[in-house]
Structure 1
């Protein structure tokens, strides 16, 4: 099978899909895209099934060449997009023909963009998923958790679509705006006063953040010591002894022993994933019922 040839892999470009589920009891994290909304839009523009394999490209500086006639969609961080010397819009789909080169420049706002191909990339799964988990050595092109490099071939089938299309402007995120992220507080976690201080304070995203966790910097909280470890999910906000909260992301561990402040709204994890280091962050409480309603709407729209 032919496909797309990687000419430049950029700082960190990974194959992802909806994630690797059913293995957390063995300590395997789900992985998957950090910005599930941008990834979902990229696949939807092409008529792909939910969670079809695509690329997560961090920071940009990425280039590939088409060995087949196909269609691509790019959604996410604001990166200059060119096919040969012609500019293409972000949050849109467009044709890529044999011999043409797609180039993504460095991100001007946001951190990650998602590149999907019509029909999805045809890559063998590892534990039921192609999602790349570098720490655990799972997924990706060879099944060993590697980032994309120059010379890699991304298999895909030839495809034709009726024409260009783009995401409605109301759904295109402005990554330059300061986010206010929503949190479901854990009433059994920190003391009520400490939870209130978390919401009142302005935090900064640490440069030590990665796909495993987003670390916050600010005036420390005072966590209550916890006596046992428990299962954790994406968006869990742990408070270690230094009082600087950590938001667990897609490549998180599956067990944790630090006290929990609460859980970030799953859809707001996408916005957090697009924040550069040193970004100011604010948080506000949200009710569980509102989160459930918004998630139902999201999945009905993208999964049908």
Structure 2
């Protein structure tokens, strides 16, 4: 009982919420680039939050079901179809044996998440199935490989029916340019004019972006300090390298680095940024730690509200 990969697409990876506790040996967390969409996919199906899904980047990916199940699609709209019929994001669909699911190219957003009832049944590596290609860990084989043509991605057959959808108020606006972030302890090593330039400028996503990080193009930010000693890198860190063009480090980031950091994007901000592609424009919006905590509480409150809503659906 599995989905068989028919067409590999640009990049399709097995992900759960990530690998914890291995920075000391140089392993990043991995996990879904758009954590909000990932969590909503599992909530739609009544899964554990950590149930494995497929993260599909850009599309051009197709699968065939070898057993019945119910799926959930969340995240970017990659023109998904079921047996040639178009599907909407942010809801569930019944899939029968022999059905074909295909993803075209992005209509909005960049990454879609495919969840099944019970999650995909892959063997964890160091406590997680998250695929990190650079580190050769996780995924279907445990070796950090992206999904290949002919791969069988196992799941437990589900013969019931779940008809759920995410209400409009909980669907993110991926067209928004605003990326919330918290200024970090090193931001006061930049002069106030440079901080103001950073927060008032619009940046464009460069061609150099991936699961490790997003390099920005726009106003150059100067750093007058003498540099810093290499230190641990938190999720969402906004590094300012020597050329002054910000780099936002995300799920597959390196674990240490020596560039000064303006701050960190929030989990919500990282989810929004992960749906941007080369040429898209963003602007960083500074919020306080207290506001970030409120944002996180709201993030989980939405999920909990939706879980209660779905628990009544048979």
Please confirm whether the aligned pair reaches a TM-score higher than 0.5, indicating the same fold.
yes
Q: Does 1:205 align with 2:181?
A: no
Q: How many residues align?
A: 302
* Aligned match of 1:182: 180
Q: CA offset at residue 186 of structure 1?
A: 2.2
Q: Give the corresponding residue for 1:280.
A: 281
Cα deviations by residue, 1:220-257 (Å, 9 ceiling, x for unpaired): 11123323111111111010111111000000011111
Unaligned runs of 5+ in 1: none
Which residue of structure 2 lines up, in the alignment, with residue 157 of structure 1? 156
| Residue in structure 2 matched with residue 254 of structure 1 by the alignment | 255
For residues 226 and 249 of structure 2, what CA distance do their matches in structure 1 show?
19
| Map of 2:112 onto structure 1 | 113
Give the deviation of 1:301 after TM superposition. Answer: 4.9
3-state DSSP class of the match of 2:267? coil
> Which has the larger displacement, 3-12 or 75-84?
75-84
SS at match of 1:234: coil
Question: Does residue 1:196 correspond to 2:227, yes or no?
Answer: no
Counterpart CA distance in 1 for 2:4 and 2:199 is 47
Structure 2 Cα separation of the partners of residues 133 and 77 of structure 1? 21
- Contact 2:94-2:161 at 8 Å conserved across structures: no
Distance in 1 (CA, whole Å) between partners of 2:26 and 2:196 is 33
User: What is the distance in 2 between the residues matched to 1:160 and 1:150?
Assistant: 26
- Contact in 2 for aligned 1:53/1:116 (Cα 8 Å): yes
Q: How much has 1:296 moved relative to structure 2?
A: 2.7
Regions of 4+ moved over 6 Å: none
User: Normalising by structure 1, what TM-score?
Assistant: 0.96
Determine the C-alpha separation between the residues in 2 that align with 1:13 and 1:199. Answer: 34
2:186–2:263 CA contact under 8 A, matched in 1: no
8 Å Cα contact 1:213-1:247 kept in structure 2: yes
Residues 50 and 302 in structure 1, CA contact (< 8 A), matched pair in contact too: no
Q: Is the 8 A contact 2:186 2:260 kept in 1?
A: no
Within 5 A, what are the aligned runs for 1:80-159? Answer: 80-159=79-158
So what's the TM-score if we normalise by structure 2?
0.93
Gaps of 5+ in 2: 308-314
Deviation string 1:72-108 (CA, Å, 9 cap, x unpaired) is 1111111222211322221110111111111111111
Give the stretch that moved more between structures: 8-17 or 294-303: 294-303
Shift, 1:143, TM fit: 0.4
| 2:292 match | 291
Contact 1:9–1:148 (Cα < 8 Å) also in 2 = yes
Aligned equivalents of 2:23, 2:229: Cα separation in 1: 18
Q: Mean alpha-carbon deviation: is it higher for 193-202 or for 9-18?
A: 193-202
Alpha-carbon separation, structure 2, partners of 1:298 and 1:278: 28
Deviation at 1:298, TM superposition (A): 2.4
Aligned to 1:218: 218
CA 1:82–1:170: 2 relative to 1, 3 Å: same
Distance 1:187 1:251 in 2: 23
Question: Cα distance, 1:147 vs. partner?
Answer: 0.5
Query: Structure 1 CA distance, aligned partners of 2:108 and 2:298?
Result: 27
Contact kept in structure 1, 2:137 and 2:144, CA below 8 Å: yes
**Conserved 8 A contact 2:16-2:53:** yes
SS at match of 1:165: coil
